[in-house]
Amino acid sequence: MSSRLLLMFLFLPVFCTAQQIRGSILSKEGPLPSATIIIDGTGTQTDLSGVFNITLRKTGKVTLKINYVGFAVKTVEIDVRPGLNQLGTILMEPANGVLGEVVVKGASAGSQIRAISIKKNAPGIMEVLAADAIGKLPDRNAAEAVQRIQGVSIERDQGEGRYVSVRGTPIQWSATLLNGNRLPTASLDYTDRRIQMDIFPSELIEYVQLSKALTPDIEGDAIGGSINFITKAAPLSKILRINAAGGYGDQARKGSYNASIVYGDRLLKGKLGFVVSGVIWDRTSAQDRYNMNYDFSNPNVKQSYSITDLQLRDYIAHRKTTGLNAGLEYKFNDRHKIQFKGIYSAFLDGQNVRETYFYFNAKNATITDRASNYFTNLSSGELSGQNVFSGKLSLDWAASMDKSKFRFKDPDYYPMAIFQQAVTYDGLAADGKKYLAMDAPDGKGDVIDAVLPHVSSTTPISADAMKLSQVIMLRSTNWEQNKRFSFNLKYTPAGSLTLKLGGKFIDKDKVVQSPYNVYVAGIQGAAPTMNSLGTERFPYNGGFLSEIGSPYNNVIIDQMALSQLKSLVTPEGISQHHLYPFQVDSATNASGATRYFTGVEKVYALYVMGEYKLSEKLMLTGGIRNEYNKVTFNGSKVVSNAGGKQVTTLTQDNSYNAFLPMLHVKYNVTENDIVRLAYTRTFARADFNNLNPATTQDDANKVIVRGNAGLKPTFANNFDLMAEHYFGGIGMVNAGAFYKKLTDLVYTNQWSETIGGVQYAVSEPDNLQGAWLAGFEAGFAKRFTGLPGFWKGFGIDANYTYTDSKVKIPRFVDNKKIEDNSVIPKQAKHIFNISLQYEYSKFMARIAGNYKGKYLDVIRQSAGPDHYRWYAENFTVDFSASYAITPKIRTFLELNNITNTPVRYYHGTFDRVEQAEWYSIRGQVGVSVKIF
């Protein structure tokens, strides 16, 4: 009897007799998400497709009231009948005297309205970007698309956005989601959790939602914020849109092209909807760069600032990004539907690199030539369903799989040839070291952007003197795959209360294999010279480092033809040039074992949350999310003993629980003024490379490097305050503050350890016990539509974020532990974006600036704070313009980095440069056609 009563209680909501009202809110431009619908004091908002669902306890005639930013309030009289009431579509019209012609004919006003509406009605602190706004700025990948959002900054590769940071926090602390699921990551250089976002074309995106304070139904691995890319879904009616463009990159002196298409429709009387889209972007990027390294481990304090080497690097990269997106939806009826979303993206980065190194202490110079095709792809598929069982109970579920994989392509390895010659250097200090003038004991040295090698005329750099020293063949397979299942059960017992219960299971597989073979020349026979192998013209691309006066033209020579590289590492090339196999890696030998590891990470997440409207002005959203994480890593340990180096396989587990309570308070002071408070607990999982349990013992240099599979995740207690004011037209102003109390911050620990009477320097990732991060942010966006005539087209969008932090970094001096006060690595103190625009009728123009302040890049514990590596402040400016030839055809112009801003890293102080690189301007012109 008790079990029967329990079943009746569980299924009671299914048989409730509340009346359900469903409909869609649209404008002439498409769905209106987050429109507010109120009936007899009961309210709700539309979803991203403009659909709403509201429950009433009575029948009969009622008045439905619809509000949307910039649109006239609309009222609809309806006669509510028992059960489901389907209203169909309701069309909204722009408010007279507020927006008018700007909304109907403007290029991006509608996008701004939708973004503002979603942000305004969100229960938490959120920023939103819509697809048509992305297309109005020269942003060609996902990273560049989100850099305009308040509190967001990016890092670039070859002048293109690659990594995203939120509120100045380290990149790994922000989650990048695709349709609510964290994206997998794979790349050559990194085995951490940073998402390489340049593989993802911006044209595949419908919305971007940045949650700065999480709610329990969002994955909790996001201390900085959670960026959710929502791909295009099946439309409400037929659409066909085509974009095509051609461009030019000044640094590479090469052309580019870009094209995309979107097609969608509804069939079977509207039950079946689909959308397909594709994009291709082909271009050649280039970079001129110089690097310097300093002898910071030298025990002589003065000589620790001496320059060990100067590096001149020329990069030319032929890049192609392709993407496909598909969305399918089938409505069984008004209560039940099933969806599929699939995406495939591929990024081919064909790099040709020429490097000239000057080693001042070793008295030699080298030239490294390398070329390969980096290939990274991403595939994702998700099957989901939405089911409405009654006016009170609904369920949505999703099963998905995604995979990202990095490898070399054509050939499947990365060949490098290193040539060397003896060199005499002039201009050294009295102690025989190379310095900047600011550090030299006798003031004899160079200055920033004019650091010259001063090669003696007796030993000029030449292709005849450069002899082959080493040939390296790097191989790499790096992939990550996720399998997931999630569900969300929603119960609305009353109009003022909504309860949600959900869960997600994630099964992640990580595989890393990065061995390399080293072949030495000159041991078994005479080493060939560069000239004997054949040279090709150095690709100056309009001048190598012309931005600083091309100071290195006298030491840059024609180098080996890159087409020769593949032949050097073939069995015939190795034999012909008498190359000695100095190191040949495998998963079982001592030299290569630690470069192979696998990991399995399983996450079991459950959450419960509620939204309770205490009054017309006050709403609470809160709950608990719990994520149990089980991590298993398989690697190798390499140690030396009397019989030589021994390889031992390791398997280590690291299981932990993340208990994440969250509470949001939203108070509507007036219809257009909102105050938000939030407490959330979030975390950041340790990076894969740090969890790898491999141990490498180097007896020659007395160094031991260990991973730490027992590394703890970093946890944060987050406190947020935000005040928002929304203008009557398009625009808003906001200001807020945030504080994050951090525990178990991950850093690299260094100490000394005696093994068998021999002292080793040991390096291993570990956790710090305490740190904090705090800041404030403000934003202002306004379209001046209330001004007369020509002036109503002007607008401004500006935001600023300030972040500060503190952490104590331990180090040892004379075997005594001391602690240095420091900011958190990778955390920028100042970020701001500003965009000035003019948009009226057929014409739009916009100039946008993006600023990221300096941040601590690398901590060198043993050397101390004066030798830390810093990222210098960076400000880039982009421009775009478009003109509507007809209502359906628009031409556009896009220009990136019009000020040719360099990217710099420095050593302790700005004038002590470590790295400086230039990319020059790039741009394109094109046409956009909206057929349906």
How many Å apart are CA 829 and CA 822, to the nearest integer?
13
In this prediction, residue 330 carries a pLDDT of 96
Among residues 370, 314, 364, 361, which one has the least CA distance to residue 556?
Answer: 314
pTM strictly above 0.85: yes
- DSSP structure class, residue 94: B
Tokens 């205490």 belong to residue = 614
What are the tens digits of pLDDT across the range 900-916?
999 999 999 999 999 99
Average pLDDT over residues 176-205: 79
Is 636 a residue whose pLDDT tops 70? yes
Residues β-bridged to residue 621: 611, 664
Per-residue confidence at 146, pLDDT binned at 50, 70, 90? confident
Q: Mind spelling out the 3-state secondary structure of 498-550?
A: EEEEEEEEEEEEEEEECCEEEEECCCCCCCCEHHHHCEECCCCCCCCCHHHCC
In this prediction, residue 247 carries a pLDDT of 94
CB distance 390 to 14 below 8 Å: yes
Among residues 775, 774, 856, 853, which one has the least CA distance to residue 809?
Answer: 856
Number of neighbours of residue 39 by Cβ within 10 angstroms: 20
Per-residue confidence at 618, pLDDT binned at 50, 70, 90? very high
Average pLDDT over residues 48-57: 80
What are the tens digits of pLDDT across the range 524-564?
888 999 999 999 999 988 889 999 999 999 999 999 999 88
How many Å apart are CA 556 and CA 455, to the nearest integer?
12
Among residues 202, 200, 198, 222, which one has the least CA distance to residue 211?
Answer: 222
Question: Which one is predicted more confidently, 745 or 678?
Answer: 678
How many Å apart are CA 853 and CA 830, to the nearest integer?
5
Residues β-bridged to residue 163: 155
Q: What are phi and psi of 260, to 5 degrees?
A: -150, 155
Cis amide leading into 170 (omega within 30) = no
Q: What are phi and psi of 279, to 5 degrees?
A: -150, 145
Number of neighbours of residue 495 by Cβ within 10 angstroms: 18
Name the token pair of 578: 């008498």
In this prediction, residue 929 carries a pLDDT of 92
Average pLDDT over residues 361-385: 94
In this prediction, residue 26 carries a pLDDT of 84
In this prediction, residue 6 carries a pLDDT of 38
Q: What are phi and psi of 222, to 5 degrees?
A: -165, 85
Per-residue confidence at 17, pLDDT binned at 50, 70, 90? low
Question: Which one is predicted more confidently, 566 or 145?
Answer: 566
How many Å apart are CA 672 and CA 554, to the nearest integer?
65
In this prediction, residue 185 carries a pLDDT of 86
What are the tens digits of pLDDT across the range 85-138?
888 888 888 776 544 444 434 555 666 777 888 888 888 899 887 766 555 555
Q: For the chain, what is the mean pLDDT?
A: 86
Number of neighbours of residue 644 by Cβ within 10 angstroms: 7
CB distance 311 to 291 below 8 Å: yes
> Over pLDDT 90: what percentage of the chain?
49
Among residues 557, 522, 524, which one has the least CA distance to residue 540?
Answer: 557
Is 846 a residue whose pLDDT tops 60? yes
Is 9 a residue whose pLDDT tops 50? no
- The angle subtended at Cα 918 by Cα 912 and Cα 921, nearest 5°, is 150
Side-chain half-sphere of 788: how many Cα atoms within 13 Å? 0
Question: Which one is predicted more confidently, 753 or 508?
Answer: 508
In this prediction, residue 751 carries a pLDDT of 62
Name the token pair of 902: 């360099």
In this prediction, residue 490 carries a pLDDT of 93
